[in-house]
Structure 1
Amino acid sequence: MRIHNLTVCDNIRVEDNGKFILIGVYTNAILFPQLPAQFNFNIWVLLEAEQLGKSNFAFRGRMPDFDVDLFEITGEINAVDLNQWTPMAFGAPVLIGQPGKVAIEVKFDGGEWELLRTMNIARGPVPSLPRPPL
């Protein structure tokens, strides 16, 4: 199983036609006006299966500098077509206690944890950007 995309955002919706809508997409940092803060850690990934059949997965978010686990999501995926990548969306409410780095990791079929992405957590004003012209 390969991950082709991992996006962290505020909310994920699915249209009637099966397309995903990602709302409030984060780049490399999540800013909070104050900490500790409650946060809905929503993740959208695009998976490519390398073989047909069922695979177990686990995603987790942790702050390794403080040895703090934020969330772990487990489940099973059944690959029925190697030509179609599988979109997956999930989320978990977490309590962010302090600034630092969040490591997002995955493992498949009981293997080793693999780092997918690191994000910065910081306290500060949330910037408002000008809207682009339409």
Structure 2
Amino acid sequence: MKIRAETVFCDDVRLENTGKHILIGVYGSDIVPGVMPANLGISLWTRVYGLAKGKHHFHMVLSGPTGRSKFEATGDTDITSSDAPAVFAMAGLPVEVPSAGEITVTYAFDGGPTIEAGKIRVLAPPQAG
């Protein structure tokens, strides 16, 4: 099965004691910082489909609009059912935003190909006038 992913970009992700996630400040389509350049703290809630049951190593990259600003994370996850998506929740990741463009998140599993898990546009703040 082909691996695919989808990401929600937000201000914060929290975990309830019941196991549910709370997504705070979800960005619907665009991020418009108050000033630019900006240093943002972005949170990600990603669902990955198509991983086989068992242990997997992942490599996640969050890239800012210029592609130079990157946050990378690696780790291991244990998939208990190949029928359900794997959920990755990461909060407060730093992203430099020197100009308008896109913020992109990618994942690679077990040294395989990189997949785009999501992207969001960053727009310049409105000019005072």
Q: Do Structure 1 and Structure 2 share a fold, with TM-score over 0.5? A: yes
Give the Cα separation in 2 of the matches to 1:5 and 1:116: 5
Give the Cα separation in 1 of the matches to 2:11 and 2:64: 19
SS at match of 1:68: coil
Give the Cα separation in 2 of the matches to 1:26 and 1:107: 24
Question: Does residue 79 of structure 1 match 2:82?
Answer: no
Contact 2:60 2:105 in 1 (8 A): yes
- Cα offset, 1:86, TM superposition: 2.8
Give the Cα separation in 2 of the matches to 1:43 and 1:110: 22
Aligned partner of 1:42 in structure 2 is 43
Pairing of 1:1-134 with structure 2 (within 5 A): 2-63=3-64, 66-91=66-91, 92-125=93-126
Give the Cα separation in 1 of the matches to 2:41 and 2:99: 16
Compute the RMSD of aligned alpha carbons. Answer: 2.1
Contact 1:3 1:45 in 2 (8 A): no
Task: Mark the runs of 5 or more structure 1 residues left unpaired by the alignment.
Answer: 126-134
SS at match of 1:25: coil
- Cα offset, 1:3, TM superposition: 4.1
Give the Cα separation in 2 of the matches to 1:62 and 1:108: 18
TM-score (norm 1): 0.79
- How many equivalent residue pairs? 124
Deviates more, 1:84-93 or 1:16-25: 84-93
